[in-house]
Amino acid sequence: MGQFDGKVVIVTGGALGMGRTTALEFAREGARVVIADINADAGRSAIAAMPAGAGHLSIADVAGATDCQSVVADAERAFGGIDILFNNVGIQPTTSYANVENTTEEMWDRILGVNLKSYFLMSKFAIPSMRRRGGGVIINNASVQGLQSMKGVPAYAASKGGVLSLTRQMALDYAAERIRVLAICPGTIDTEMVRASAVNEPDGVEAALERYGRSHPIGRIGTGLDIANVVLFLSSDRASFMTGEYVCVDGGYMAMGAWASGAGAAEA
């Protein structure tokens, strides 16, 4: 028996990266998992990697209310309700590294729409289902950039700071209904997004990832499984006295103050 037998989980951005690994770990622990993603091929691949009948793919752009409502409806139709929501989806397009003056309104709106607005919308529509099941858990994927930042990512940094504030606020509103709300703040994680950001590094992608790792006290960048392990713990009854907080999963990055020292790494 798995620790999430009988539980239904939604993972936004669950086709690739941290979301995919976490979705697979939930399924491995007995959960029924809905992956919400715009990448149909990668989403189908993720579902195929789960135990038979454990997964459902909902093709959606969760930056809009209609698609978020559809994801929730898919989860209820496929598995009967929602117990856990992992608001994971996040973007930082490689074309949008710029200061505020050079960030377009279109790019600002898109990044905030995916990275922050979708967390609000998915929570808004999932909470009634959780309430009907007597409670639930919402885990929001923020970033160490919600706490500190790097140059050239004003929209991304603003979105991640907003995720942390939204997490605290929702935790207060819903604690009495046994709905816990928490956030994680990853450091640099080996994902497709981080690799894409390293493509233009002069020393090449692999060397850049090793260099990023050396800037973390633990000596490496993180993996999807590092994130999944923490998300599953926070979603479990073992974390039942935790709400309204964030957990850094960053290899000691924030403890060292690496941002202030100028040791560069990619966004999480």
**Residue 204 near residue 101, CB atoms below 8 Å:** no
Which tokens hold the place of 139? 């885990």
Spatial separation of the C-alpha atoms in residues 151 and 153, rounded to whole Å? 6
Spatial separation of the C-alpha atoms in residues 204 and 70, rounded to whole Å? 41
Q: Is the dihedral of CA 182, 12, 223, 165 positive or negative?
A: negative
Q: Residue 172: how many CA atoms within 13 Å on its side-chain side?
A: 5
**Residue 193 near residue 17, CB atoms below 8 Å:** yes
Phi-psi group of 80: left, alpha or beta (phi > 0 → left; psi -120 to 50 → alpha; rest → beta): left
Residue among 97, 119, 156, 174 flagged as catalytic: 156
The yes-or-no answer on residue 119 being catalytic is: no
Where in the sequence numbering do the catalytic residues fall? 156
